[in-house]
């Protein structure tokens, strides 16, 4: 089967460091953190006090006010990012191309906030007072569903739920759709809105969250004093097309997606496989799919959650895959600034990877102060660095043992 080449022509994002791609990228380059004190729940109820919340996000700029009330925030974020991405791509969806335009947007936990609030209503007032929109507001596929409805995209419409790999897997799965010719355009990415009581309770009970009370230093991937991730929220969306479709439209091209690897640890519900064995296989798969040698990779945007095992095993995985080149390779975690956007993380990091290629800038890992002997690679500490980038890898690893790796390349016709 002839595989079609897949390029990225549009990007949209709402994140803790900016509600547009340009604002996000400007802050990422500057090493500016989006972490602050928790405001969306009562932080006194939890052992954690910091999170990476969206600031000044107004859904009514993108969605009719009456519809906003019928959408969980995770859907609102996806709608905003998708509309921005489609506008950025200069894509007009019409009767002719709608059946060949698909949507694939993942979410790790979907409408947890809606579930929480509606359950409280049910407990206090009974089932008659539960919203008839409860189920369609909560289910994780509804971001893809609502985006498809609002844009009139009638192609394949799907949602990948692989915890913190959901955004990367959704992009990879959409990539396969385009490669095999089942669509010409895919609107793909991830979205998450976990700033609610049960999400904080669950992740805190699992001892996954940082207990650092200083918002400026709480997210510190690969640093010896890391103590857990900082929860974030937002959405990242790409417009992906076959090269033929992009050329026909005369679209600008940010880069090409050439490789996708996806594996399972088959090890533990939350802990990564020892030595990052599953992550290594995903990375090798992506390299093989792209036809790229390990030493050709210029930069890796790591999963880098700021948790003990993830950062250590991801470092070991990088050494396993890249061998001696691992020590010449820049690897950074932008979660040091955005926090961990769970199901949206891989999509946001895909956008950051593409911006890095386009501007020749490797974003930093901020808050890197005390080197960990077990994490001994070049994590681009604290300040961005300029370098011509041709090939970038982006990694995402999720609860349940899900591993996803994407390879982006500078577009060369």
* Closest by CA position to 197, among listed 305, 108, 120: 120
| Cα dist from 58 to 35, 65, 107, whole Å | 19, 10, 21
pLDDT band at 59 (very low <50, low <70, confident <90, very high): very high
Positions marked active-site: 164, 303, 340
For residue range 149-172, list pLDDT tens digits in order: 999 999 999 999 999 999 999 999
- Report residue 330 CA to chain centroid gap: 20
Per-residue pLDDT tens for 233-262? 999 999 999 999 999 999 999 999 999 999
Nearest to 177 by CA among 201, 208, 150, 156: 156
The closest of 341, 36, 338, 83 to 193, measured between CA atoms, is: 341
**Cα–Cα distance, 124 to 85 (Å, whole number):** 41
Beta bridge partners of 11: 238
Does 1 score more than 80 pLDDT?
no
Give pLDDT, residue 169: 98
Q: What percent of the chain shows pLDDT beyond 70? A: 100
What pLDDT, in 10s, does the model give residues 99-112? 999 999 999 999 99
Whole-number average pLDDT of the chain? 97
73 CB-side CA count, 13 A: 21
> What is the value of pTM for the model shown?
0.97
Tokens 């989006």, located at residue: 34
pLDDT attached to residue 66: 93
Q: What is the pLDDT of residues 286-306, one digit of tens each?
A: 999 999 999 999 999 999 999
Q: What is the pLDDT of residue 275?
A: 87
Q: How far apart (Å, rounded) are the C-alpha atoms in residues 136 and 142?
A: 6
10-26, pLDDT tens digit by residue? 999 999 999 999 999 99
CA–CA separation, 189 and 185 (whole Å): 13
Q: At what angle do helices 277-290 and 308-322 cross, to 10 degrees?
A: 40
Here the tokens at position 236 are 């990242």
Tokens representing 67 are 């519809």
DSSP bridge pairs for 378: 330
Report which of residues 275 and 339 the model is more confident about.
339
Kind of pairing between the strands at 157-158 and 101-106: parallel
Judged against a pLDDT cut of 80, whether residue 142 lies above it is answered with yes
Name the pLDDT band for 413 (thresholds 50, 70, 90): confident
Tokens of 302: 């790591």
pLDDT digits (tens, 9 = 90+) for 222-234: 999 999 999 999 9
Sign of CA dihedral 228, 194, 392, 29: negative
At 68, list the tokens: 């906003």
pLDDT of 192 strictly over 80: yes
Question: How large a percentage of the chain has pLDDT more than 90?
Answer: 98
Domains, the chain, in order of start with CATH, read 7-249 (3.40.47.10), 260-409 (3.40.47.10)
The pLDDT, as a whole number, for residue 239 is 98
Determine the pLDDT at residue 2: 85
């Amino acid at each position: 089967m002839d595989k079609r080449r897949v390029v990225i022509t549009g990007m949209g994002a709402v994140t803790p460091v900016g509600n547009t791609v340009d604002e996000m990228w400007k802050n990422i380059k500057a090493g500016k953190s989006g972490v602050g004190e928790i405001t969306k729940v009562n932080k006194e109820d939890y052992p954690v006090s910091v999170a990476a919340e969206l600031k000044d996000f107004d859904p009514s700029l993108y969605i009719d006010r009456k519809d906003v009330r019928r959408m969980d925030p995770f859907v609102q974020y996806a709608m905003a990012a998708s509309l921005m991405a489609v506008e950025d791509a200069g894509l007009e969806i019409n009767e002719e191309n709608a059946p060949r335009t698909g949507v694939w947007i993942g979410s790790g936990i979907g409408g947890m906030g809606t579930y929480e609030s509606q359950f409280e209503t049910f407990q206090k007032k009974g089932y008659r007072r539960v919203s008839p929109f409860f189920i369609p507001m909560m289910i994780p596929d509804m971001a893809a569903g609502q985006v498809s409805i609002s844009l009139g995209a009638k192609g394949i419409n799907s949602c990948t739920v692989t915890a913190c790999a959901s955004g990367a897997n959704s992009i990879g799965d959409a990539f396969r759709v385009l490669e095999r010719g089942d669509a010409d355009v895919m609107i793909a990415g991830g979205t998450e809105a976990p700033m609610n009581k049960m999400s904080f309770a669950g992740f805190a009970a699992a001892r996954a969250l940082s207990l650092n009370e200083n918002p400026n230093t709480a997210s510190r991937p690969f640093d010896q004093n890391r103590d857990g991730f900082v929860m974030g929220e937002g959405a990242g969306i790409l417009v992906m097309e076959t090269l033929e479709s992009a050329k026909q439209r005369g679209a600008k091209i940010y880069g090409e997606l050439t490789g996708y690897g996806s594996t399972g640890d088959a090890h533990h519900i939350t802990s990564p496989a020892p030595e990052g064995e599953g992550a290594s296989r995903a990375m090798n798969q992506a390299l093989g799919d792209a036809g790229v040698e390990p030493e050709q990779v210029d930069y890796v945007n790591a999963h880098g959650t700021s948790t003990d095992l993830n950062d250590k095993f991801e470092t070991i995985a990088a050494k396993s895959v890249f061998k001696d080149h691992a020590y010449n390779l820049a690897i950074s975690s932008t979660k040091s600034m955005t926090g961990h956007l769970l199901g949206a993380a891989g999509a946001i990091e895909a956008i950051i990877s593409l911006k890095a290629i386009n501007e020749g800038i490797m974003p930093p890992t901020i808050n890197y102060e005390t080197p960990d002997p077990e994490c001994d690679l070049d994590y681009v500490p604290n300040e961005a660095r300029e370098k011509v980038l041709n090939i970038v890898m982006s990694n995402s690893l999720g609860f349940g043992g899900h591993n996803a790796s994407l390879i982006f390349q500078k577009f060369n016709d």
